[in-house]
Amino acid sequence: MADKFMSMKNLGFTLHSRNTRYKVAIPDYLNEHTPKTIDRVFAAAFDLGKKVLHPMFEEMDRFPPQLVDGRVCVHKGVRPMLETLGQDGWIAATFPETWEGENMPSSLLLCINFIFATANYSASVYAGLTMGAAKLILSFGSDKLQNTYLPPLLAGKWQGTMALTEPEAGTSLGDLCTQAVPLEQGPSEKGQYKIFGEKIFISAGDHDGVDNVVHLILARIKGAPAGVKGISLFVVPKFRPDAQGNLVENDVVVTQVFHKLGYRGAPITGIRLGEKDNCIGYLVGQEHKGLAYMFQMMNNARLEVGMGATAIATAAYHSALDYCRTRVQGRPVTAPKNAAPIPIIGHADVRRMLLFQRSVAEGALALILQCGMYEDILAKDPGQTDCHLLLELLTPVAKTFPSEMGILSTSAAIQCFGGYGYCDDFPVEQHFRDMRIHTIHEGTTGIQAMDLLGRKLVMENGRALGLLKQEMEAAMAAASLHPESARGLEEMARDLAHGMALLEKTLQTLGRLAMEKGPEAYLADASLFLEMFGILVIAWQWLTMADGALSALEQENLKKKDTLFYEGKLCVARYFFAYELPKMQGLAKTLGDSAQMTLTLQDAWFTD
Amino acid sequence: MADKFMSMKNLGFTLHSRNTRYKVAIPDYLNEHTPKTIDRVFAAAFDLGKKVLHPMFEEMDRFPPQLVDGRVCVHKGVRPMLETLGQDGWIAATFPETWEGENMPSSLLLCINFIFATANYSASVYAGLTMGAAKLILSFGSDKLQNTYLPPLLAGKWQGTMALTEPEAGTSLGDLCTQAVPLEQGPSEKGQYKIFGEKIFISAGDHDGVDNVVHLILARIKGAPAGVKGISLFVVPKFRPDAQGNLVENDVVVTQVFHKLGYRGAPITGIRLGEKDNCIGYLVGQEHKGLAYMFQMMNNARLEVGMGATAIATAAYHSALDYCRTRVQGRPVTAPKNAAPIPIIGHADVRRMLLFQRSVAEGALALILQCGMYEDILAKDPGQTDCHLLLELLTPVAKTFPSEMGILSTSAAIQCFGGYGYCDDFPVEQHFRDMRIHTIHEGTTGIQAMDLLGRKLVMENGRALGLLKQEMEAAMAAASLHPESARGLEEMARDLAHGMALLEKTLQTLGRLAMEKGPEAYLADASLFLEMFGILVIAWQWLTMADGALSALEQENLKKKDTLFYEGKLCVARYFFAYELPKMQGLAKTLGDSAQMTLTLQDAWFTD
C-alpha cells in the first residue's frame, strides 16, 4: 500500500492562497496563527494520522464493528486513539480556554480533520462527531449540562453523537415521532423528560472504545405542534449520572449495527429509547427550537462531509499517482514496437485521469477552506453578514461537489490500477466504497439542491449570488495583474465570466418558470442546477489557485521542486477549465429545455 | 429484497423493435424463431434465472470463493447450476446440430445471457465463459481437440476459460511471455507443447463446481517474433487425457484467488503453468495467429461485457423502482404541511433518477441487441460486409456505454434508497460493486476509445461512420412517418441530426490535428470522443424505441397496461434527448479546446 495519502505542501498552499474581499477588514482571521505555527500544528496532526489512524485503515474495514450481546465492539485501536485525541487537546481545540481549548479557527480545524480523514476516514469521524455534539451543548446547553458532559467528551472518554433519523423519517425530519414527556417537575428535575422512540443511522451510535455515549437527539415534546416547528433537542446519554453522581443505565438499547458498503470502520447503529420507561433526556436550550439548533451545527457538519469526501478523493489520488509512476506497461503511440515499456503515467489517458482526480480533490479542498475563511471572519466580526450569506450559499456546493464528483474521482483511481484496482490488494476499492456515503448523509444531494435553489439563492432578494459574483470578479481582477505572459489566466478569467453569465441566464429562465408555473417547476431540476453551479464555483477556486501559483512562480530563486509544484497547479487549473467547465453548457441546455417532464409524467408509466 | 430483476415485456419489445436497412435483405435473421417460440425460450431462461441463479445472488457475494489446499471452493449451487445449463442445452444452444446445439442466433443468446445476468451476474459468467472457450475450439481447433473437449464443456461438466493477462502484461498483451516449447515430435504429439508461465485475472479460472478446467491461453512459441505477432493459442486443461484416455494432472497450479470489490461469486484466479515441467498445451489453429483468433471471440466477449453491465443496471433499476413506489416520505413542494406523506416516486428528483437509470439500462440493451442483429445478418449472409463494419464500429460503444454509465446508474439506484441503499439489506450496493469491473475487463475504456478512434473510424477510409449515418437517417425517416401529432419524435430526429453534425465537426477537428500534430494528438482525448459518440449512438437507439412505441400506441384496442408501457417508453426517450444528449456539447468543446495538454505536461508536475 502506498504510504502517501496527502500532500502537506498542497494543504499549506491551499490554505494560504484563499482570498476574499472581506479579508481586508479582518486580515487576522486565523487568530494570530502564523504559517509557522500552522505548520507545526499540521505536522503534529499528520504524525498522528500516519502513526495512529492510517495503520488501521484496512483492518477497520475488514473487521467492521459487531453487535455482541448488546455491545458494539469496534477495532481495539479506537480507544487509545480517542484517548490520545482527548489528552493532546485535539477534540477541544476549537473550544474556548474555559474548556481547555485554544479557540482554534474553523479553517485550521477543517485542515486537521482533512489530514485525519485522508489517513483513515472511518477513524476520523469518532472525534469529529464528539466535537459536533459538544459544540451543541456549549452553544445551547445549561451550565449544568456543560459541566456534566463537556469534560469527558472533550477528553475523548465519552462519545458524542447526533441522532436525527428514524425508520420512517429520514430526509423528512418534520415527520419524526420520538416523544419526550416532561418528568414531574421537582426543582432538580427541571428540563428532564422521559424519552420514547427509535433512532437509526447514528454514526458512532455506540461502541466499546468509550465509557459512555452522549446522544444529541431530536424529539417531539408531548403536545408539541406537528412538523418541524415542534421538535426539541435533548441530551440522552447511554449512562446518566444519578443523584449521587454515579452513572446508571439510561434505557438506551442498541437494536442493530448496519452492514454497509464502506465507511465500515465506524459503527452506524440503531437505538431504542425508553423501552423500560426509564430513559431520561435533558432538554438543550428552549422547547421546540431543536431543529434550528441542530441546523446551526448541521451547516458545519455539511462542510465536514464535503471535507471527508475531499479527503478520501485525495488519498485515492495519491495511491493512483504512486501506482501510475511505478507500473510499467505499454509504449507511446508513436514508439517503435520494440521500444521499452514505460510507466503508465506517460500515457495521455492515464494523465487525464490523474488530472481529473487532482482537479476534483484540490478544487474541493480550496472551496471548503474558502468556506472556513468566511466562518472565521464571521467569528471575529459577526457584523460581516456578507460572509454569512456567502457561507450559506456555498455550503450546499461544498457538501455536494466533493461527494458527487468524489464517486467519479475514486472510480478513476480504480481505473488507473486496471484489474488490480478492483482487488483489495490496493486501497482504492475501499476509497470508492468509503466515498459513496457522502451524497447521502447530512442531507442528500437532492436536499442540498432544493436548499440552494429554493432557499439560498432567494434569501434577501437573491443578494448572495451578487456577493459571489463580486468575489469572482475580484479573483478575475487579481488574475489580470500578472505581468507579460499570463500563462492562460486571462482565458480562465474570461471563461469564468462566461460561465457566470450562463448561470445567470439559466437562473432568469428558472425565475420565469417559477412565476409562470410555480415553485414545483422551478425546483424540478434543482439537482442539475446545483451541479452546474458547483462547476462554476470550483472553476473560481481554480482561478484563485492558478493566481497563487503564478505569483509564486514570479518570485526569484524558486527551488526546482517548488517550480514543479506551481507548474503542476497551473496545469490542473487549465485542465479544469478545458475539461470540466464546458459541462455547464449541456446542463444549461437541459435546464432550459427539459420542460419539467418529471412533473408531468405518470407513475404508472413505469409499468411494464 | 425485491423479487423483480427485469422486465420480460421490455426485453421482447427491445428485441422486436430493432431495425436496420439490412433487415430488408435478410428478414429472417432470427433463424425462423417466431415471437412465440422466442417467448417460450425466454420464459424458460427466466424460470431458471429466478429459481436457480437469483436465490444465490447474495450468498455468492457474502461467501466468495476460497482457496483451500490448492482447491478453489465455490458456492455449492454452482455445480447443479452448470449441470442444468448443460443438460438443458443452454450452453450448446448456439452450436451446430453436430454438437447437439440448435444454431441459436446471437441476438437470442444475448437476451438469454441478459436474463441470467439480471438474476445473478456472477453466476451467469461460468457458462458464458465455457461457451466462449468452446466456440474458439469449434472455430479453430482440430477435430481431435473438438472431440475431446466440446462434449464435456457443452455438458457443463468442464469449465472453459480465457487466460490472457500476466502480471506484467495486462492491457499490453504484446508483452506476454508465457512460453510454449514443442514436444519431441512423434506423430501422436503433433501440436503439443510444454507450457511455462503465469497467468492472472482468469475468470472462473478454477473451481470445484466442475470436474476439469480448460484454459484457452495465449503463449509465445519458443523463437517466435516479439510483440503481438508472435502469440499462439493453446488449450491447456487442468487434467489432460493420457494415452489411455484417463485424466491426469497437467501441472496447472492455482496461485491465488483475487479478493475483489464485487463480482465476488465468480473466482478470479491466478495460475502457474509448468512448475514441474509437466504442463502440456495443445495448439489451436496455426502458430502465431493466437491473438487474431482470440480477438474474433473478444469482440463477442466485449458485447457480453456490455450486456453484463446492462443487466446489472437493469436489476438495480428494478430494485430502486420497487423501493420508490413503496417507501413513503415527504410531500410535494406545494402540498400543505399536514398533508399525508407520499411514496417517494412522487418527487421530481426521484423520478429523474429513475428515468436516468431506465434510459441507461434500456438504451444499452437496445444497442447491444442492434449489434446482435448485425451479427445474425452476417451469419446468414457473410456478404453483408456493411453489417460487419457497423458491428466493428459499435462494439467499443456497446462495451463502454453500459459499463461507464452503469457506474452512475447503479449509484443512482443507491441514491433512491437513501441511507438504506448504502446498507446490504438491499441488493443495490452489491449491484454497484458488481458493476465496477466492466470498464476494466476485456479491454479498458481507454483501450476501447483508442480502438474506436484509431481503428474503427479510419478503417476502409472511414466508411463505417457513413454507414451509421445512413442507419440513423433511416431511423429519422421512419420517425417522421407518424400521422398528426408526432409526440416529440420530430424534435428527437432533429436533435439526433444536430448531434451527428456536431460529431462530424469534431472528427474534422481531430482529423486536422492528426495531420498537423500526428497520431498522439489525434488520440489524446479518445476517451472523451468515445463518450460523446456513445451518447449519440444511444440517442439513435432511443429514437428507434420511441418510433416503435408510438407505432404500438397508434394501434387500436390497446390494453391499458400496454398503453402505459409505451407511454413510458416515449417518456424515457424524451428524457434521454433532454437530459443526456446535451452532454455532447461540453464534450465537443473540450475536444476542440483541450490543446492536448495531457501530451505536453511533465510527469514531474505531479510533484509536491
Q: What is the pLDDT of residues B29-46, one digit of tens each?
A: 998 899 999 999 999 999
Task: Return the residue matching grid coordinates 447450476.
Answer: B81
Chain centroid, CA A520 distance in Å: 28
Whether B67 has a pLDDT exceeding 70, the answer reads yes
Determine, for residues A348 and B599 on separate chains, whether the beta-carbon distance falls below 8 Å. yes
Grouping H, G, I as helix, E, B as strand and the rest as coil, residue B148 is helix
Helix axis angle for B106-119 and B121-140, nearest 10°, is: 150
Determine, for residues A578 and B595 on separate chains, whether the beta-carbon distance falls below 8 Å. yes
Rounded to the nearest angstrom, the minimum Cα separation between B186 and chain A is: 36
Q: Is the ipTM of this complex over 0.90?
A: yes
In the predicted model, what is the mean pLDDT of residues A226-235? 92
Quick count: other Cβ atoms within 10 Å of Cβ A223?
Answer: 9
Residue-wise pLDDT for A556-574, tens only, equals 899 999 999 999 999 999 9
Grouping H, G, I as helix, E, B as strand and the rest as coil, residue A283 is strand
Least confident of B118-127, B225-234, B532-541: B225-234
A256 touches chain B (CB under 8 A): no
Determine, for residues A261 and B424 on separate chains, whether the beta-carbon distance falls below 8 Å. yes
For B596, left (φ over 0), alpha (ψ -120 to 50), or beta? left
Cβ atoms of B534 and B547 within 8 Å: the answer is no
Cell of B190: 503433433
Cell of A311: 479527503
A297 confidence band (pLDDT: 50, 70, 90): confident
B42 touches chain A (CB under 8 A): no
B464-480 burial: b if 16+ Cβ within 10 Å, else e:
bbebbbebbeebbebbe
pLDDT at B2: 54
Within A104-255, residue ranges assigned H as helices are 106-119, 121-140, 143-154
Q: CA nearest B414: which of B426, B406, B403, B405?
A: B426
Dihedral (Cα; A299, A301, A303, A308), 10-degree rounding: -170
Three-state secondary structure of B239-308: EEECCCCCEEECCEEEEEECCECCCCCCCEEEEEECCCCCCEEEEECCCCCHHHHHHHHHHHHHHHHHHH
Calpha distance B162→B130 (Å, rounded):
9
In the predicted model, what is the mean pLDDT of residues B311-316? 98
Q: In B, which residues are within 8 Å of A65 by CB distance?
A: none
Q: Are strands B268-273 and B252-257 parallel, antiparallel or unpaired?
A: antiparallel
Rounded to the nearest angstrom, the minimum Cα separation between A408 and chain B is: 8
Residue-wise pLDDT for A402-450, tens only, equals 999 999 999 999 999 999 999 999 999 999 999 999 999 999 999 999 9
Task: Return the residue matching grid coordinates 438474476.
Answer: B119
Determine, for residues A424 and B337 on separate chains, whether the beta-carbon distance falls below 8 Å. no
B579 touches chain A (CB under 8 A): yes
Least confident of A114-128, A276-290, B285-299, B479-493: B479-493
Q: Which residues contact B215 (CB under 8 A, 6 or more apart)?
A: B133, B161, B162, B163, B199, B202, B205, B235, B236, B237, B238, B252, B271
Rounded to the nearest angstrom, the minimum Cα separation between A29 and chain B is: 27
Supply the DSSP string of A193-209, one letter for each residue.
EEEEEEEEEEET-S-TT
- Among chain A residues, the shortest Cα distance to B607 is held by A565
Q: CA nearest B191: which of B249, B154, B232?
A: B232
- Residues written for chain A: 608
Grouping H, G, I as helix, E, B as strand and the rest as coil, residue A248 is strand
B438 touches chain A (CB under 8 A): no
Catalytic residue status for B442: yes
Rounded to the nearest angstrom, the minimum Cα separation between B573 and chain A is: 11
B336 touches chain A (CB under 8 A): no
Task: Return the residue matching grid coordinates 486565523.
Answer: A30
For chain A, the average pLDDT equals 95
Dihedral sign for Cα B566, B568, B569, B574, please. positive
Least confident of A44-48, A580-584, B210-214, B331-335: B331-335
pLDDT at A2: 54
* Element spanning A508, H or E: helix A489-517
B184 confidence band (pLDDT: 50, 70, 90): confident
B275 touches chain A (CB under 8 A): no
A249 touches chain B (CB under 8 A): no
Q: In A, which residues are within 8 Å of B520 by CB distance?
A: 332-334, 348
Supply the DSSP string of B101-128, one letter for each residue.
-----HHHHHHHHHHHHHH-HHHHHHHH
Calpha distance A419→B260 (Å, rounded):
9
Q: Are strands A212-221 and A179-182 parallel, antiparallel or unpaired?
A: parallel
Best of B67, B122, B261 to substitute, by most chain A Cβ atoms within 10 angstroms, is: B261
Cβ atoms of B437 and B268 within 8 Å: the answer is no
Quick count: other Cβ atoms within 10 Å of Cβ A413?
Answer: 33
Interface A-B: count of C-beta contacts within 8 A: 287
Cell of A544: 484563485
Calpha distance A124→A468 (Å, rounded):
32
Rounded to the nearest angstrom, the minimum Cα separation between B588 and chain A is: 9
* Element spanning B182, H or E: strand B179-182
For residue A71, give the DSSP letter: E
Determine, for residues B330 and A171 on separate chains, whether the beta-carbon distance falls below 8 Å. yes
Q: CA-CA distances (angstroms) from residue A463 to A312, A393, A455, B529, B599? A: 34, 10, 12, 40, 43
pLDDT at A484: 66
pLDDT at A1: 47
Q: How many separate helices (H) and strands (E) can be counted in chain B?
A: 19, 12
Cβ atoms of B525 and A352 within 8 Å: the answer is yes
Calpha distance B134→A246 (Å, rounded):
74
Cell of B28: 429472417
Q: CA nearest A274: which of A353, A150, A170, A181?
A: A181
Structural domains in chain A plus CATH codes: 31-288 (2.40.110.20), 294-593 (1.20.140.10)
Supply the DSSP string of B356-404, one letter for each residue.
HHHHHHHHHHHHHHHHHHHHHHHHH-TT-HHHHHHHHHHHHHHHHHHHH
Cβ atoms of B526 and B452 within 8 Å: the answer is yes
For B100, left (φ over 0), alpha (ψ -120 to 50), or beta? left
Chain centroid, CA A162 distance in Å: 15
A3 confidence band (pLDDT: 50, 70, 90): confident
B1 confidence band (pLDDT: 50, 70, 90): very low
Whether B13 has a pLDDT exceeding 60, the answer reads yes
- More confident: B594 or B254: B254
B608 touches chain A (CB under 8 A): yes
In the predicted model, what is the mean pLDDT of residues B286-297? 91
High-pLDDT (> 90) share of chain A, %: 90
In the predicted model, what is the mean pLDDT of residues A457-475? 97
Dihedral (Cα; B204, B208, B211, B212), 10-degree rounding: 40
| Burial of A63 per CB tally in 10 Å (0-12, 13-18, 19+) | middle
Candidates B198, B304, B442, B531; catalytic one: B442
User: For residue A221, what are the β-bridge partners?
Assistant: A180
In the predicted model, what is the mean pLDDT of residues A235-246? 94
Q: CA nearest B303: which of B179, B396, B410, B384?
A: B396
pLDDT at B169: 85
For residue A371, give the DSSP letter: H
